Amino acid sequence: MSIQTVGVVGAGTMGNGIAQACAVVGIDVVMVDISEQAVAKGLATVAGSLDRLIKKDKMTEAEKAAALARIQGSTDYAALTRAQLVIEAATENEALKVKILQQLDGLLPAETLVATNTSSISITKLAAATQRADRFIGMHFFTPVPMMALVEIIRGLQTSDATHDAVKAMALRLGKQPITVKNAPGFVVNRILVPMINEAFFVLAEGLATPEEIDAGMKLGCNHPIGPLALADMVGLDVCLAVMNVYFEEFADSKYRPCPLLKEMVAAGWLGRKTGRGVYTY
């Protein structure tokens, strides 16, 4: 299948990042969200990101203009019908994703491929909610999408070889390094990463060290580029908690119990960078 246009559902952090990654390599994008305000914010974020590339001499003004011209913002799902691949990048909520995927199912041509950017929800389960399970796959990007090289390509039980190969080729076309993984809660990277973040919150809650010391310890002792608590703030504490809840429910193993401090901070609305306060204040 020749993919000329990619649809993106969601203009938030992941959605606008995916849209940018596609547009800068010459792929047309249709980015849809529920409100004009959300779409405008997503487009403004892309423009700001491209401006930073210009300042670093990694892009010209003409290239920025061309990339932005390739992104069509819309609040109408019908605009996605011209895409050969649609990537759902909504909030990490299974019921919401199922609702969106079923809505897409009724609109998109039968041959259109659909991918979900979920970081933890079962691809097999989401695929079963659609009428195109063989053309459904997981395409998990990492934050910030324009900068991070990795894409996890997750096959559900029903995913066809043709779908996998087309989506893997798309990831390579975006300049990403894809890895193919089997369907399981958290897949590979988050299966390892998020429990580590959760454990950092337990260490913090027990008063073993300050946030700065915990992050410095992992940066200097394990050569991580960013500490786990600062990373949680960047990802979003609500996202971290949602992933841990999926593990706890799916594996039925107490080692995946979300830290009470993490739960309390999310309840307070301290979600990290996006709210101006998380473990740290921004």
Q: Residue 49 annotated as binding? A: yes
Q: Is 190 in the active site?
A: yes
Judge whether 152 counts as a catalytic residue: yes
- Each of the 282 residues of the chain gets a pLDDT tens digit; together they read 789 999 999 999 999 999 999 999 999 999 999 999 999 999 999 999 999 999 999 999 999 999 999 999 999 999 999 999 999 999 888 999 999 999 999 999 999 999 999 988 899 999 999 999 999 999 999 989 999 999 999 999 999 999 999 999 999 999 999 999 999 988 999 999 999 999 999 999 999 999 999 999 999 999 999 999 999 999 899 989 988 998 999 999 999 999 999 999 999 999 999 999 999 999
Selected catalytic residue, list 16, 117, 119, 198: 119
Q: Are 151 and 139 in contact (CB under 8 A)?
A: yes
pLDDT digits (tens, 9 = 90+) for 75-102: 999 999 999 999 999 988 899 999 999 9
114-135 pLDDT, tens digit each: 999 998 889 999 999 999 999 9
Contact yes or no for 8/32 (Cβ under 8 A): yes
Which domains are delineated in the chain? 5-182 (3.40.50.720), 190-274 (1.10.1040.10)
- In 3-state terms, what secondary structure has residue 281? strand
Beta-strand relationship, 150-155 and 177-182: parallel
Q: Kindly report the pTM of this predicted structure.
A: 0.87
Indicate which residue of 117, 120, 122, 190 is catalytic.
190
Distance of CA 42 to the CA centre of its chain: 14
